[in-house]
Chains A and B, each alone.
Chain A
Amino acid sequence: METGAAKDDAQLVEEIQQGETAAEAALYTKYSGRIYYFALSELRCHTLAEDVRSETMLRVLQAIRGQRLRSIGALPSFILTTAYNVMRELVRQERRTEQLLDYEVGDGGKFERETILRDPNIKVSIERVIRRLKPREQEFLRMYYYDELPSREIAERLGIKEERVRLIKSRALKRFRLIYERLGK
């Protein structure tokens, strides 16, 4: 997969170095979503994530045009590193501490819910899927993803062996995806 992606990246890089704007647009289309997602998950701010995306792609394109890219195969890593640097700079500029980059959720997941579920269709679809799950699957999902109980305790509450927790999770996820796809989302 990565080899194939590198070839596509190689072609895009070459075309960008030749001044083709279509290649730049293609590169932007390919990586901007990832950059935005990454920035949003780290900064929890749509505005800042937009800024990070814009600034990161700008720097990447400038680097490609200036042939400052060391390795085409390292393009994804280069983009990610650039995004990291842009984020830090923006954070310093906004006078926020680097603790924002710590991996803690301080708002009870509200940011994720508002971001991920702001599309009402997604929200409704997920609710429909969950209602179609078996009661045991629902219980498991709540204990695992919401209560965040350890596997040992989940196994105890469900009256099963701890080794089976992973299997139940796998089945629950599978059923969730299956139902979600059937509902057309």
Chain B
Amino acid sequence: MDHSEIEKNEIVERYIRKQLTPEARKAFQEHFFACDQCFEQVRATERFVVGVRHAAASDLLPARRGVTSGAERGFPWIGWMNATRMATALSILLLAFVGIWLFQVSGLRTELALERKAREQAEQQNHNVQQLLAQQQLNPVAGTPQANIPVVMLEATRDTGNAPTVVLPAGAHNLVLWVDVSADSSHTFQLRIYTKDDRLIQTVEDLKKNKYGALAVALPARSLAGQYIIKLYSMDSRQPLLRAQYRLRVTSA
């Protein structure tokens, strides 16, 4: 048995692990009895094998279960490919989410713009109506001058008979109610207009005496024909105090 054969056939290790035939074992024993080098190699290999077994038994060498992944097997390019694939998939997902998000945002923006436009239109419409109303209110300065505005002087009465009647001329835009309160010490008044069946249809606030000691209230004459109960309240105290009640009948010419 020579060294080339020993090395080629891994004789030393097989001797240690008792994997040689009896004849081969004896032949190698005869060899290393005479060979210092091989004897040292036997001792070193035995130390190694026993040490490894001891380490495994002591859990210094963990057991492997199952087949390893490509990256673990020493094929790092497989791990790299998997990482690339994963990165690509994540990128696609991310782009998808961003795209959906942008699409939704775009839709929301459009809705918002439409809402804004509708609101602006409504505001403009409201403004126009307010202007129209303002124009339609009796304001000698702002409105168109009107001639022959009918004026009704209300007189308090407890008479339940026929109510005083005022005839609105054709084309009349307003009707002025004149209420004498010179004898009343109150400063602020309120006028409430009811239908004859006691349904409130109009309240006029913050009425003040004019220089004649009277209250002048202008009502739009349109659709005013009918029979009314008008109540006058003093507003100086917390609670409105009924001061007078009037009846009125309006007709159109």
Contact A116 B50 (CB under 8 A): yes
Contact A103 B18 (CB under 8 A): yes
| B36: chain A residues within 8 A (beta carbon) | 1, 5
Interface residue? B187 (CB, 8 A): no
Contact B67 A31 (CB under 8 A): no
Q: Can you list 21 A-B contacts (CB < 8 A)?
A: A1-B36, A5-B36, A6-B34, A76-B34, A103-B25, A104-B18, A112-B46, A112-B53, A113-B54, A116-B46, A116-B50, A117-B50, A126-B54, A126-B55, A130-B55, A136-B74, A139-B64, A141-B56, A142-B62, A157-B67, A160-B74
Number of contact residues on B: which range applies?
A: 35 or more
Q: Complex formed: what's the CA distance from A31 to B39 in Å?
A: 11
Interface residues in B8-41 (C-beta closer than 8 Å to A): 17-18, 22, 25-26, 29-30, 32-37, 39
A105 and B61 contact, Cβ closer than 8 Å, known pairs A80-B30, A159-B67, A176-B48:
no
Question: How many chain A residues have a CB neighbour from B under 8 Å?
Answer: 48
Q: Which residue of B lies closest to A129 (CB)?
A: B51
Q: Is the interface of B mostly helix, strand, loop or mixed?
A: helix
Q: Is the interface of A mostly helix, strand, loop or mixed?
A: helix
Contact B30 A77 (CB under 8 A): yes
Contact A145 B53 (CB under 8 A): yes
Contact B62 A126 (CB under 8 A): no
Q: Complex formed: what's the CA distance from A33 to B33 in Å?
A: 10
- Contact among B50, B60, B68 for A158, CB-based, below 8 A: B68
Ordered nearest first, which 7 A-B pairs have the shortest CB separation? A126-B51, A146-B56, A76-B34, A159-B73, A142-B61, A76-B33, A103-B18
